């Protein structure tokens, strides 16, 4: 709460819980208090100023069960505003809690805010991260595990252990230095290395017992680089991708693009010793590599030998692997019904949206754009402007549904869509780099990928039966990716590049999923504790 006393904060939180109990019934509550501070970290052997949560880098792990309510009180002790977003958590009917500037005012220095997040009808592997000011380059991220309810069957035996692995590129420059580079009109430099759970070469050890099977949840929390993940002498069985149980294919290595998460099962079936866990960069001129250790509990032999090789530039290899990832139609979802009971392939989209990324120079500075529009953040969160009917903040429909000719330009743009529309979105990439796109508040079916220009004839190759259902997808160089999306979540939702330099310099926009109904059935009202900034400052939220 904004500068409230201990007594008033307690009363406000209690009242919030009374309101939420009406909506959420008997679903459990989990309470967290997070203190956001700067602190010294040494991820690549060099002292840096990192962003810590309760003194930890990476931040504390969230373990929860489908439909749990997470009450997370965040205290900002940094010298600048701060926000946390929840990558892949759908925030059903509640974009107010999404933690991006389009929906939420930042937490000012010295203040706090309590997020109230329900992991509604979700399972799987996700992560949280700081969404403002390139803070992600300094830390502040952590893993989120959403377990199935005990009565819902999972399509594999319970593993002996469940490990989270946060991998990603890292820079020795501070987030403020990197931000200055972007603000000066340049792209980010090449990263200096890769981290596994916040540490460099051989900096982290995972312990296993011979003969047992373990689950590893891997998330790419980096800023600019796709990675490949592998374990020396072991294979991996893919079982889940961002909330979808998958066909259980076995891989010797797996690509994980920016913002993506997945789960693999690994059986400790090799001779007892230590083995390398390896992550390396993909599609980069200089291949970066980092390692951790898989340690058998009865091992007295240190890790040795050469690192297992992985793909580097091979786009076809990655594309073929991506196409092999399919949804397990016989597995239960968060509820006791098969995942395949929703026949998305039988629904005709009412609208086709084609989104083309580009890298224009505008006013002599590097920018990034979608359909020739480079996003500029307004002084007031879009969701608050929409709620309070504050004019001049954004214009609905200010981004075209398809690429247009002409010079790129700066704008605060919002795409409008009706509640419960079923749409087709094509991400068209004419650049030489792999793109990664994420959608807040929604997951989608990745129905097709291909090279060159997408046309209506491309639909003949769509997977309309068992496409994976996720919230982040890659688009290969000079290629396209198509998704089907049911817009069943009212709110203001960020669609963005997961390359954080591109996102910062304009490759994002907001999708307004709208209904005229004021019913709680469709969307929760503005939170009583909502922070108000910009032109919303001084307004009243609502009484309980």
Residue 526 sits in a domain whose CATH number is 2.60.40.420
Say how far apart CA 458 and CA 144 lie, in whole Å: 36
Asked if 214 and 186 sit in the same domain, the reply is yes
Residue 26: pLDDT band (50, 70, 90) is: low
Q: What are the structure tokens assigned to 430, written together?
A: 């004419």
What's residue 395's pLDDT? 87
Which whole-number Å values give the CA distances from 289 to 45, 202, 219, 282, 322, in the listed order? 15, 11, 16, 10, 22
- Least reliable range by pLDDT among 238-252, 436-450, 509-523: 509-523
Q: Which element (helix H / strand E) includes 504?
A: helix 500-504
Residues 6+ apart with CB under 8 A from 508: 370, 375, 494, 495, 496, 497
Q: Which element (helix H / strand E) includes 10?
A: helix 6-24
Asked if 302 and 166 sit in the same domain, the reply is yes
Whether the CB-CB separation of 508 and 501 falls below 8 Å is answered with no
Asked if 121 and 201 sit in the same domain, the reply is no
Asked if 196 and 225 sit in the same domain, the reply is yes
Q: Is 9 left (phi over 0), alpha (psi -120 to 50) or beta?
A: alpha
Asked if 427 and 517 sit in the same domain, the reply is yes
Say how far apart CA 271 and CA 354 lie, in whole Å: 51
Asked if 380 and 516 sit in the same domain, the reply is yes
Which whole-number Å values give the CA distances from 306 to 277, 280, 533, in the listed order? 12, 14, 55
What's residue 544's pLDDT? 59
Classify 511 as helix, strand or coil. Answer: strand
Residue 16 has pLDDT above 60, yes or no: no
Say how far apart CA 239 and CA 124 lie, in whole Å: 10
What's residue 525's pLDDT? 93
Asked if 359 and 285 sit in the same domain, the reply is no
Mean local confidence (pLDDT), 2-8: 42
Residues 202, 137, 190, 430, Cα dihedral to 10°: 120
Whether the CB-CB separation of 119 and 63 falls below 8 Å is answered with no
How confident is the model over 148-185, as pLDDT tens digits? 999 999 999 999 999 999 999 999 999 999 999 999 99
Nearest to 205 by CA among 285, 271, 91, 296: 296
What's residue 7's pLDDT? 39
Residue 4 lies in a domain: no
What's residue 518's pLDDT? 83
Residue 246: pLDDT band (50, 70, 90) is: very high
Asked if 385 and 504 sit in the same domain, the reply is yes
Residue 11: pLDDT band (50, 70, 90) is: very low
Say how far apart CA 97 and CA 117 lie, in whole Å: 7
Distance of CA 489 to the CA centre of its chain: 17
Asked if 169 and 247 sit in the same domain, the reply is yes
Burial of 322 (0-12, 13-18, 19+ CB in 10 A): middle
Among the three residues 273, 294, 324, which one is the final residue of a domain in this structure? Answer: 324
The DSSP result for 226-276, as a single string, is -EEEEETT--EEEEEETTEEB---EESEEEE-TT-EEEEEEE--S-SSEEE
Say how far apart CA 84 and CA 131 lie, in whole Å: 6
Nearest to 227 by CA among 284, 266, 179: 284
Whether the CB-CB separation of 361 and 410 falls below 8 Å is answered with no
Residue 363 lies in a domain: yes
Residue 493 has pLDDT above 80, yes or no: yes
Distance of CA 495 to the CA centre of its chain: 11
How confident is the model over 452-489, as pLDDT tens digits? 999 999 999 999 999 999 999 999 999 999 999 999 99
What's residue 23's pLDDT? 43
What's residue 173's pLDDT? 97
How confident is the model over 299-353, as pLDDT tens digits? 999 999 999 999 999 999 999 999 999 999 999 989 888 888 889 999 999 999 9
Residue 13: pLDDT band (50, 70, 90) is: very low
Among the three residues 147, 170, 197, which one is the final residue of a domain in this structure? Answer: 147
Asked if 427 and 526 sit in the same domain, the reply is yes
- The fraction of the chain above a pLDDT of 70, given in percent, is 95
Distance of CA 326 to the CA centre of its chain: 20
Say how far apart CA 421 and CA 157 lie, in whole Å: 38
Residue 168 lies in a domain: yes
Residue 3 lies in a domain: no
Residue 225 lies in a domain: yes
Q: How many domains does the chain have?
A: 3
Per the structure, the complete domain to which residue 455 belongs is given by 344-536
Say how far apart CA 377 and CA 380 lie, in whole Å: 8
How confident is the model over 272-300, as pLDDT tens digits? 999 999 999 999 999 999 999 999 999 99
Handedness of CA 394, 398, 401, 403 (dihedral sign): negative
Asked if 124 and 260 sit in the same domain, the reply is no
Residue 330 lies in a domain: no
Mean local confidence (pLDDT), 5-16: 42
Residue 11 lies in a domain: no
Residue 337 lies in a domain: no
Whether the CB-CB separation of 240 and 325 falls below 8 Å is answered with no
Among the three residues 264, 289, 324, which one is the final residue of a domain in this structure? Answer: 324
Classify 388 as helix, strand or coil. Answer: helix
Q: What are the structure tokens assigned to 507, written together?
A: 């490759």
- With residues binned 3-state (H G I as helix, E B as strand, rest as coil), the percentages for the chain, rounded to 5, are 15, 40, 50
Asked if 454 and 532 sit in the same domain, the reply is yes
């Amino acid at each position: 709460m904004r500068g409230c006393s201990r007594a008033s904060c307690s009363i406000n939180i209690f009242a919030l819980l009374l309101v939420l109990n009406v909506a959420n019934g008997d679903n459990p509550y989990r309470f967290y208090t997070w203190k956001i501070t700067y602190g010294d970290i040494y991820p690549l052997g060099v002292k840096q100023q990192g962003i810590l949560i309760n003194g930890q880098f990476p931040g504390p792990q969230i373990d929860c069960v489908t439909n749990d309510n997470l009450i997370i009180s965040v205290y900002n002790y940094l010298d600048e505003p701060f926000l946390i977003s929840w990558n892949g958590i759908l925030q059903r009917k509640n974009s107010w809690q999404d933690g991006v500037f389009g929906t939420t005012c930042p937490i000012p220095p010295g203040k706090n805010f309590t997020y109230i997040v329900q992991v509604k009808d979700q399972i799987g592997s996700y992560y949280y991260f700081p969404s403002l000011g390139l803070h992600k380059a300094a830390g502040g991220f952590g893993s989120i595990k959403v377990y199935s309810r005990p009565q819902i069957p999972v399509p594999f035996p319970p593993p002996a252990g469940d490990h989270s692995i946060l991998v990603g590129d890292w820079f020795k420059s501070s987030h403020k230095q990197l931000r200055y580079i972007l603000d000066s009109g340049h792209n980010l430099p090449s990263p200096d290395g890769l981290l596994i759970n916040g540490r460099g070469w051989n900096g982290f050890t995972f312990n296993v017992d011979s003969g047992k099977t373990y689950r590893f949840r891997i998330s790419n929390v980096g800023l600019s680089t796709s990675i490949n993940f592998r374990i020396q002498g072991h294979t991996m069985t893919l079982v889940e991708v961002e909330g979808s149980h998958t066909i259980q294919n076995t891989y010797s290595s797996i690509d994980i693009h920016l913002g993506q998460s997945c789960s693999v099962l690994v059986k400790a079936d090799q001779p007892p010793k230590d083995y390398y866990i390896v992550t390396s960069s993909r599609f980069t001129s200089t291949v970066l590599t980092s390692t951790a250790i898989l340690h058998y509990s009865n091992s007295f032999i240190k890790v040795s030998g050469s690192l297992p090789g992985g793909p580097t530039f091979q786009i076809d290899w990655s594309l073929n692997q991506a196409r092999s990832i399919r949804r397990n139609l016989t597995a239960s979802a968060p509820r006791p019904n098969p995942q395949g009971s929703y026949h998305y392939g039988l629904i005709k989209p009412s609208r086709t949206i084609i989104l083309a990324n580009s890298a224009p120079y505008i006013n002599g500075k590097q920018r990034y754009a979608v359909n020739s529009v480079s996003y500029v953040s307004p002084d007031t969160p879009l969701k608050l402007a929409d709620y309070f009917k504050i004019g001049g903040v954004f214009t609905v429909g200010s981004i075209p549904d398809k690429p247009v000719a002409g010079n790129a330009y700066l704008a605060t743009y919002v795409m409008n869509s009706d509640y419960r529309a079923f749409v087709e979105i094509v991400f068209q990439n004419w650049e030489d780099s792999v793109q990664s796109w994420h959608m807040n508040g929604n997951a989608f079916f990745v129905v097709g990928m291909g090279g060159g220009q997408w046309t209506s004839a491309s639909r003949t190759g769509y997977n309309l039966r068992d496409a994976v259902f996720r919230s982040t997808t890659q688009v290969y160089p000079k290629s396209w990716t198509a998704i089907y999306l049911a817009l069943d979540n009212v709110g203001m939702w960020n669609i963005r590049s997961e390359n954080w330099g591109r996102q910062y310099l304009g490759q994002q926009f907001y999708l307004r999923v709208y209904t005229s109904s004021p019913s709680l059935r469709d969307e929760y009202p503005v939170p009583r504790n909502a922070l108000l900034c910009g032109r919303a400052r001084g307004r009243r939220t609502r009484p309980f």
